[in-house]
Structure 1
Amino acid sequence: MTDDSKAIVPVWTLATGDVRVPVLTGDEPMTPERLAELRGVLAALADAPIATLEAHPLPEKVDRSRGISLDAASPLAQHLSQLIAQTTQGSSKAAAVTASGEGLYRMVIPAKVAAQVAQGIVSPMGSKAVAGGVHGAFQDATGKIVAQATLVPVGQVAAAGAAGGAGATAAVAGSVALTVAAPLVLMAVAVGVSAHADRQRQQAIERITELLEQLTEDKLNDERRELDGCRFAIDKATAILLDQGKLGVSLGLDSAAHAIGKALIDADERLGRWRDALDKLPDGKPVEIATLAKSFPGIDDHGGTFRTHLEIAALAIALQRRVIVLQAVEHAQSDPDNLFENFTRELKRDQQRLDEMESGIAGVLVRLSALELARPGGRRPVFTGNEVDRLMRVAHRIRRLGEGVTTTGRAADVAIEIARDKDGSVVVFPALAA
């Protein structure tokens, strides 16, 4: 994309069912702010989930290793190709932008809908994580932010394909043109959420590996290996489901789910012990380091068992997020006439326990970060410089436990970015807060 106010960005309004909403926009260009308002209004008025899909130029450099690759024959790639082919026939501007066959397609799901399909899964990423993302689509070659593009709605075209297909357009007199694309939205959400959860797994593994280098506890290392080994079965199951295949026992997904379940039980028991330990501390009084280290071993060190337990819990949660998405996709594909309702119902079913666990761990970290440390006990009125330095060092580490803790707040729009190559293959990047 160039820094040019005449740059054209086609925008599709996608519905996951036959809905009717008032006319909110015609074929006139829109600003990004106007598009955001439109998404919110459509989400509020429509009974079925509404999303928008923007077609941006593909950046010269895109880190495809962060996403999930699907070939041109995959259902998601085919649905996207079908949408482009059938809807751009009625829009010369959209046809011109998509003529090369490649591009970065950005699907944005409003907060209302995101709360249904991705609550607890997608959360805002920090600047460091975003810098490693694919937002180059909104920058020029020098990294300068470009926000001058003209957003052009893709107008109504003749209905194509069966209702619920990737190219069926639902529009009646007095309503806005909505392309019914439930399979496309379903697959994009499934792959984007799965990629996001796998990104969390990778980050947790990196931190666990670093922490275990400072420990000699074989049990923790075994826990890490068993959990990380589950990803092979999950990766295979993801690939099969995204190709609309059937899962079999030979994949080992049942064994992986069992191992993840055991890890979650361990994490829940540890969370209970941490809460009990904090409840037993005297209110409003300083706590000695030695007392704290009994319940939170290694909290006074750079690594430590406690921090490793935190990362193992994060790893188990990330893996379970992917399993939940697999279960939801499998269930939704078993009833293709009712994709999104089944999909959201399955996602919600097991998410609550994970959300509660993450919230509980966050609460423990916040409580720990607020503790005041006492000086070492003893009869000496004066303490050595080393003792003072250690007290300050540990206090600083404990305060930092509360940094970066994500607390549940107002739901944000969820963005899923899809890089499409000329051969029709796609790479779906981790879903993130728009």
Structure 2
Amino acid sequence: MTTDNKALVPVWTLATEAVTMADVLGDEGMTRARLAELRTVLAMLADSPIVTLEAHPLSKKSNRNGGIVLHAASPLAKQLSNLVTETAKSAPPTLNVAATGEVLYRMVVPAKVAAQVGKGLVNPMASKAVAGGVYSALRDSTGVVANATFVPVAGKAAVAGAATGSAATAGVAVASAGALTVAAPLVLMAIAVSASAYADHQRQKAIERITDLLEQLHDDNLDSERNELEACPDAIDKATSILLDQGRIGLSLGLDSSSHAISTAIAATRRRLKKWQAGLDSLPDGPVEVGALTKSFPGIDEEGGAFRAHLEIARLAIALKRRVLVLQAVEHAQQDTNNPFKSFIGSLRDDERGIDELESGISSVLLRLSTLELKRDGGFRIPAFTSGEVDHLLKAAYLLRALGDGINGGFQQADVAIEIERSGDGSLVVFPALAA
């Protein structure tokens, strides 16, 4: 994915506000482990969010899906180019940071900042290969991860530039020694696009599962719910493109009707969640009969039951709602020219609290279901179990255990990496956040 393991990799330290602190990075090269340690120190000592940005030359494009494409004239692309251009003169002579070509930018957001942005938006993507594992950024470039030398850039130069402004401002300000590069709009836009990509990735997974389930159920009401939600991404995608290009969202996009459909689905999910919680509370202590469980959770003992369809529709609605929240937060931040990043975080925190609680409630229900013990209907009786009863009971038990898989509540918030691929023509692809 990148060049050989002896490459020198430039790394910028970016702040969202003007802060002055000890020059912990220095001028010498460092290992990835050392960079991670220093990043932790910076996150702890600084009052404002601080991220690092690396630039790796690409030998070939990745085969990852789920990224959002931005053209060369987009604000994020301009900000990256401006950062490189303005800081080139302060780079060590061994680096050519202003070189054109294909580049993998890797912005690492400390866990402290990722938690502020939102647990449902900047999360490590769970790995299917290893239980409890997460994908690692740059996983196809072992040499660079292990042995590349990271060289600080822009630590001791004074460059004119706007430190604040709307998200459209390609503002970069590099102050004297001990101060960090101020690039609030760049950090804001990178996190916003990656968060939107992550939410859309969740949406696509939910749609795939819903389609499979509804083909088995033949439920017209659920089909209608799915169709209304699937009609929403078109307006959301258009609004995302317009906002990322600093445009104004008009009524002609249909975002209002899409937002209404999503809110309706969220309300239905909250109602179903209350029923699920009440159903769990009504179950007796100890082993539970399958029949008693299916009264509150129809089809839970089947791979294509109604409960699982309701669950996937809830996940789809939540994913779409998170994309809308990102749009609202970006729009709000663009109106605050003094500190767009703080405005973005504040808006997200206020709006996503209810969605976080809803998602947490669903996860709690799934966890409780996954730990239930089952017994056959009627308890112990003569004659003994038939082979059909045994198969059904085992299948139901396995399906219950599987409900606990993939619950994100067990992940401890970690540093996350936002990968941005830049093509030779200046266009970008921003991917969902990965574990750093």
CA distance in 2, matches of 1:410, 1:148: 27
Q: Which amino acid aligns with 1:91?
A: A
> Would the aligned equivalents of 2:29 and 2:152 in 1 still touch at CA under 8 Å?
yes
Decide whether the 8 Å contact of 1:18 with 1:170 is kept in 2: no
CA distance in 2, matches of 1:407, 1:119: 9
Counterparts of 2:430 and 2:216 in 1: how far apart (Å)?
Answer: 36
Match of 1:421 in 2: 423
Aligned to 2:295: 294
Q: How much has 1:17 moved relative to structure 2?
A: 1.1
Residue 322 of structure 1 and its aligned partner are, at CA, apart by 0.6
Partner residue, 2:69: 69
Deviations along 1:330-382, one digit per CA (max 9) or x if unpaired, are 01111222211111001101111111111111111111111111123175332
Counterpart CA distance in 2 for 1:157 and 1:120 is 38
Change (3 A) 1:132 1:81: farther
- Check the 8 A contact 2:199/2:320 in 1, yes or no: yes
C-alpha deviation, 1:129, in angstroms: 8.6
Q: CA deviation at 1:299?
A: 0.7
**Correspondence for 1:27:** 27
After superposition, where does 1:191-210 map in structure 2 within 5 Å?
191-210=193-212
Q: Check whether the contact 1:166–1:182 (CA below 8 A) recurs between aligned residues.
A: no
**Any residues of structure 2 matched to 1:260-299 within 5 Å, and which?**
260-283=262-285, 285-299=286-300
CA contact (8 A) 2:158 2:174 kept: no
Amino acid at match of 2:309: T
Instruction: Give yes or no for contact 1:139–1:146 (8 Å, CA) kept in 2.
Output: no
SS at match of 2:217: coil
Consecutive unaligned residues in structure 2, runs of 5 or more = none
SS of 1:169's equivalent? coil
Give the corresponding residue for 2:215.
Answer: 213
Q: CA deviation at 1:44?
A: 1.6
Name the CA shift for 1:166/1:44 in 2 (closer, same or farther; >3 Å). Answer: farther
Check the 8 A contact 1:170/1:178 in 2, yes or no: yes
SS in 2 for 1:105: strand
Classify 1:145/1:9 alpha carbon distance in 2 versus 1 (closer, same or farther; 3 Å): closer
Determine if the alignment matches structure 1 residue 368 to structure 2 residue 372: no
Q: Report deviation, 1:212.
A: 0.8
2:342 — aligned with what? Answer: 341
Residue 406 of structure 1: how far off its partner (Å): 1.5
* TM-score between the two structures when normalised by the length of structure 2: 0.93
SS at structure 2 position matched to 1:106: strand
CA offset digits 1:166-195 (Å, max 9, x no partner): 45334345x2x4111111101001100000
Q: Which residue of 2 aligns with 1:103?
A: 103
User: What is the CA distance between 1:146 and its match in structure 2?
Assistant: 4.7
Distance (Å, rounded) in 2 between the aligned partners of 1:27 and 1:382: 76
Q: CA-to-partner distance for each residue in 1:3-52, whole Å, 9 max, x for gaps?
A: 43x31110000011111111212110111111112111111221211110
SS of the residue 1:14 aligns to: strand
CA shift at 1:64, angstroms?
6.3
Q: Which residue of 1 aligns with 2:8?
A: 8
Match of 2:396 in 1: 394
Secondary structure at 1:127's aligned position in 2? coil
Structure-2 change in CA distance of 1:138 and 1:278 (3 Å): closer
Q: Which residue of 2 aligns with 1:324?
A: 325
Secondary structure of 2:287 counterpart: coil
Report the Cα distance in structure 1 between the residues aligned to 2:181 and 2:145, rounded to whole angstroms. Answer: 28
CA distance in 1, matches of 2:242, 2:201: 20
Measure, in 1, the Cα distance between the counterparts of 2:89 and 2:292.
71
Q: From the superposition, tell whether residues 163 and 208 of structure 1 become closer, same or farther in structure 2 (CA, over 3 Å).
A: same
Give the Å deviation of 1:89.
1.9
The answer for the alignment partner of 2:173 in structure 1 is 169
2:124 corresponds to 1:124: yes
1:310 partner SS: helix
Query: Deviation at 1:427?
Result: 0.9
CA distance, structure 1, for counterparts of residue 375 and residue 297 of structure 2: 16
Change (3 A) 1:376 1:172: same
1:214-261 Cα offsets, whole Å, 9 max, x none, are 111011011111011110110000000000001111111111111111
User: Structure 1: which amino acid aligns with 2:330?
Assistant: V
Equivalent residue number for residue 91 of structure 1: 91
Secondary structure of the residue aligned to 2:108 is: strand
Secondary structure, aligned partner of 1:407: helix
Aligned to 1:12, what secondary structure does the other structure show?
strand
CA contact (8 A) 1:170 1:179 kept: yes
Amino acid at match of 2:86: Q
1:9–1:124 Cα change, 3 Å: same
Offset at residue 138 of structure 1 (A): 5.0
**CA-based RMSD:** 2.2
Residue identity in the other structure for 1:40: T
Gaps of 5+ in 1: none
Residue from 187, 190, 193 that aligns with 1:188: 190
After superposition, the Cα gap between the structure-2 partners of 1:160 and 1:63, relative to the gap in structure 1 and judged at 3 Å, is farther
For the residue of structure 2 that corresponds to 1:151, the secondary structure is: strand
Q: Which stretch of the first structure deviates more once superposed, 150-159 or 400-409?
A: 400-409
SS in 1 for 2:284: coil
Q: What code does the residue aligned with 2:172 have?
A: A
Does the CA-based 8 Å contact 1:18-1:180 persist in structure 2? yes
Seen in structure 2, the aligned counterparts of structure 1 residues 159 and 2 have a Cα distance that, compared at 3 Å, is closer
CA 1:387/1:145 → structure 2, altered by over 3 Å: closer, same or farther?
farther
| Matching of residues 43-58 of structure 1 within 5 Å | 43-58=43-58
Task: Tell me the equivalent position of 1:179.
Answer: 181
User: In 2 relative to 1, CA 106–232 (structure 1 residues): closer, same or farther, beyond 3 Å?
Assistant: same
Q: CA deviation at 1:102?
A: 2.0
Question: Against the structure 1 CA distance between its residues 275 and 187, is the aligned structure 2 distance closer, same or farther, given a 3 Å change threshold?
Answer: same
Counterpart amino acid of residue 384 in structure 2:
V
